[in-house]
């Protein structure tokens, strides 16, 4: 069926504004999602497909990758088992999902003129989720994708004939140098346009100097470029309602689409995985610092509700939602304790050694511990692998582990206070809707122990693709402290290739 036929009945802006349910708000509207192949984007797509059956169309801006065409990527996306339930419940929803070839790092989003016209004539609501989330991406790359890419998306939004609302997914750490973060947009010492000009100028020396200057204030290029993107949105938001949703650390799902669902291994998940495998034995962190972790389903629901909320409560400036935790507080020390217990109760297959991990705040002590707990064992395993005619890899794993810990160290040694007025107000308003029960915005009843157990099950199921039947036999192995080097080597191989782009 032609795309135009699918969305021929697109809603009028006023009908949506009068909507008194989330489902009604989305009914007959056409949505554009960027970043739909990523963790957050997949979650948004799944939820819209599941709870908004009357949606007119969902367009997904997807870039082709070297080895995969747009169509192959789209097929792979919808073949993901998280869509099985929705596809079974309402197979017709699939005919409403359309891939559009595009790349936010390219001029005009890399859209063909035909696709651009099709989007501008039909799309009403935009979720801009795409970003590079690598903390230490070279500045010019991060600026091009995160900052200029957002400017390109906003330009497209300005051209929409029937725009209803635009939601930008930012990060709660876009102002990580402050300890108290309000739901407002903060400026930087350099205007976004000045940073873009320097990066586009391509002078390596200027870019390096700028990079150095930025890193004196911001923990990394990622948070800085997300901040710039917020400012760009702020200065271009008079044509349509805009929401900026700022999640803190996003973790596995609490309940939806199923407990423990996750799709990438950044941040906390990467650390859990390494502890669970028995590789990571010591981290530098402030064990008493509170961490801010939000399950993906809260982020998805906040994003979906924000599009509705800003439309009904229109303002001529973006509304910022700090999508942070209001659950009972949890510290890094408590999290580590809960996770290590879980990783023994629900062990992964082929662990390198018995999972435990110590937290130290002193960097010198950490360095000494790291030699004994990480470097020497890695060395021994590699010798063992060489003797068996295998490829040594643990030293390499260790190097990347250090990079991971260094990138993350800012976040597990600092504490932030996030204002949550807008999100609280939105939660109250959502409660008055007919279908308020389809979303969950309040984390106060969070049971961290149960959540972390499901997180571990999710890592096994969705990242390591281990069957749940394996737990019993592996538990036996772990209790005997048996190391299964060959199996672990296979898993580490998969992880290294998939998430660090390293092979051979």
Binding site for ligand NAP (CB under 6 A): 34-35, 37-41, 63, 103-105, 129-133, 145, 169, 171, 226, 247, 249-250, 264, 266-267
CB contact at 8 A, 172 and 181: yes
Nearest distance from C-beta of residue 169 to ligand NAP, angstroms: 4
DSSP track, 180-216: EE-SSPPP-SS-HHHHHHHHHHT-HHHHHHHHHHHHH
Nearest distance from C-beta of residue 472 to ligand NAP, angstroms: 32
By beta-carbon distance, which residue lies closest to ligand NAP? Answer: 38
Nearest distance from C-beta of residue 230 to ligand NAP, angstroms: 11
Nearer to ligand NAP by Cβ, of 141 and 502: the residue is: 141
Entry field: residues in the chain: 504
Beta bridge partners of 166: 126, 242
The CA-based diameter of the chain, rounded to the nearest angstrom, is: 72
**Nearest residue to 258 via CA among 454, 474, 503, 464:** 454
Nearest distance from C-beta of residue 40 to ligand NAP, angstroms: 4
Nearer to ligand NAP by Cβ, of 77 and 160: the residue is: 77
In the chain, the N- to C-terminal Cα span, in Å, equals: 45
Give the CA count within 13 Å in the CB-facing half-sphere of 200.
14
Nearest distance from C-beta of residue 484 to ligand NAP, angstroms: 30
Beta bridge partners of 319: 243
Nearer to ligand NAP by Cβ, of 301 and 350: the residue is: 301
Q: What phi and psi values does residue 207 have, to the nearest 5 degrees?
A: -65, -40
Q: What 3-state class would DSSP assign to 463?
A: helix
Q: What 3-state class would DSSP assign to 28?
A: coil
Nearer to ligand NAP by Cβ, of 321 and 366: the residue is: 321
Nearer to ligand NAP by Cβ, of 53 and 64: the residue is: 64
Nearer to ligand NAP by Cβ, of 419 and 475: the residue is: 419
CB contact at 8 A, 302 and 245: yes
Nearest distance from C-beta of residue 478 to ligand NAP, angstroms: 29
Q: Give the residue ranges of DSSP H helices in 361-442.
A: 363-370, 376-387, 394-408, 421-431
Separation of alpha carbons 429 and 433, rounded Å: 7
User: Residue 485: enclosing H or E segment and its boundaries?
Assistant: helix 485-500
Nearest distance from C-beta of residue 229 to ligand NAP, angstroms: 9
To which residue do tokens 């802006």 refer?
A: 13
Beta strands in 16-153 (DSSP E): 30-34, 57-62, 97-101, 125-128
Nearer to ligand NAP by Cβ, of 108 and 434: the residue is: 108
Nearest distance from C-beta of residue 354 to ligand NAP, angstroms: 29
Nearer to ligand NAP by Cβ, of 133 and 279: the residue is: 133
Burial of 215 (0-12, 13-18, 19+ CB in 10 A): middle
Nearest distance from C-beta of residue 63 to ligand NAP, angstroms: 4
Nearest distance from C-beta of residue 356 to ligand NAP, angstroms: 25
Nearer to ligand NAP by Cβ, of 74 and 240: the residue is: 74
Nearer to ligand NAP by Cβ, of 41 and 192: the residue is: 41
Separation of alpha carbons 407 and 177, rounded Å: 15
DSSP track, 335-364: HHHHHHHHHHHSPPSS-SS----EEES-HH
Nearest distance from C-beta of residue 16 to ligand NAP, angstroms: 25
Nearer to ligand NAP by Cβ, of 41 and 99: the residue is: 41
Which pair of tokens denotes residue 190? 């350099």
Burial profile 246-258: b = 16 or more Cβ within 10 angstroms, e = fewer: bbbbbbbbbebbb
Q: What 3-state class would DSSP assign to 264?
A: coil
Nearer to ligand NAP by Cβ, of 35 and 347: the residue is: 35
CB contact at 8 A, 145 and 105: yes
To which residue do tokens 């709870």 refer?
A: 51
Nearest distance from C-beta of residue 197 to ligand NAP, angstroms: 20
DSSP track, 89-145: H-GGGGGGEEEEE--TTSGGGG--HHHHHHHHHH--EEEE------TT--HHHHIII
């Amino acid at each position: 069926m032609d795309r135009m036929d699918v969305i021929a009945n697109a809603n009028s802006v006023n009908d949506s504004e009068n909507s008194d349910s989330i489902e009604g708000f989305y009914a007959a509207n056409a949505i554009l999602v960027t970043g739909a192949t990523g963790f957050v984007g997949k979650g948004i797509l799944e939820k819209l497909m599941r709870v908004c059956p009357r949606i007119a169309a969902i367009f997904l801006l997807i870039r082709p990758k070297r080895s995969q065409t747009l169509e192959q990527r789209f097929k792979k996306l919808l073949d993901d088992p998280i869509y099985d339930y929705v596809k079974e419940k309402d197979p017709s929803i699939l005919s409403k999902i359309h891939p559009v070839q595009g790349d936010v790092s390219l001029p005009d989003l890399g859209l063909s003129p035909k696709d651009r016209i099709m989007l501008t004539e039909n799309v009403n609501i935009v979720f801009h989720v795409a970003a590079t989330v690598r903390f230490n991406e070279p500045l010019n790359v991060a600026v091009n994708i995160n900052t200029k890419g957002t400017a390109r998306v906003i330009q497209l939004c300005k051209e929409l004939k029937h725009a209803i609302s635009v939601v930008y997914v930012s990060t709660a750490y876009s102002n990580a140098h402050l300890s108290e973060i309000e739901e407002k947009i903060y400026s930087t010492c350099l205007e976004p346009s000045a940073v873009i000009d320097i990066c586009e100028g391509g002078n390596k020396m200027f870019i390096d100097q700028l990079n150095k200057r930025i890193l004196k204030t911001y923990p990394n290029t990622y948070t800085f470029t997300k901040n710039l993107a917020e400012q760009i949105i702020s200065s271009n938001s008079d044509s349509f309602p805009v929401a900026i949703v700022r999640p803190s650390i996003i973790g596995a799902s609490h309940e939806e689409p199923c407990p423990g669902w996750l799709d990438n291994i950044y941040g906390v998940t990467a650390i859990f995985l390494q502890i669970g495998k028995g590789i990571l034995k010591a981290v530098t962190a402030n064990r008493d610092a509170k961490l801010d972790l939000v399950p993906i389903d809260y982020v998805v629901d906040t994003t979906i509700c924000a599009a509705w909320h800003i439309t009904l409560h229109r303002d001529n400036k973006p509304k910022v939602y700090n999508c942070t935790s209001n659950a009972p507080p949890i510290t890094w020390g408590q999290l580590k304790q809960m996770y290590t217990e879980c990783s023994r109760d629900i062990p992964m297959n082929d662990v390198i050694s018995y999972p435990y991990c110590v937290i130290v705040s002193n960097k010198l002590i950490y360095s000494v511990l790291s030699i004994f707990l990480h470097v020497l064992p890695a060395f021994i395993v590699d010798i063992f692998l060489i003797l068996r005619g295998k490829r040594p890899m643990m030293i390499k794993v260790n190097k990347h582990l250090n990079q991971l810990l260094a990138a993350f160290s800012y976040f597990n040694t600092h504490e932030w206070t996030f204002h949550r007025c807008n999100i609280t107000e939105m939660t109250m308003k959502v409660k008055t809707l007919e279908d308020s029960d389809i979303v969950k915005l309040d984390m106060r009843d969070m049971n961290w122990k149960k959540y972390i157990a499901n997180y571990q099950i999710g890592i096994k199921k969705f990242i390591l693709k281990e069957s749940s039947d394996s737990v019993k036999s592996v538990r036996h192995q772990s209790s005997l402290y048996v190391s299964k080097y060959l199996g672990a080597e296979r898993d580490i191989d998969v992880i290294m290739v998939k998430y660090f782009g390293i092979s051979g």
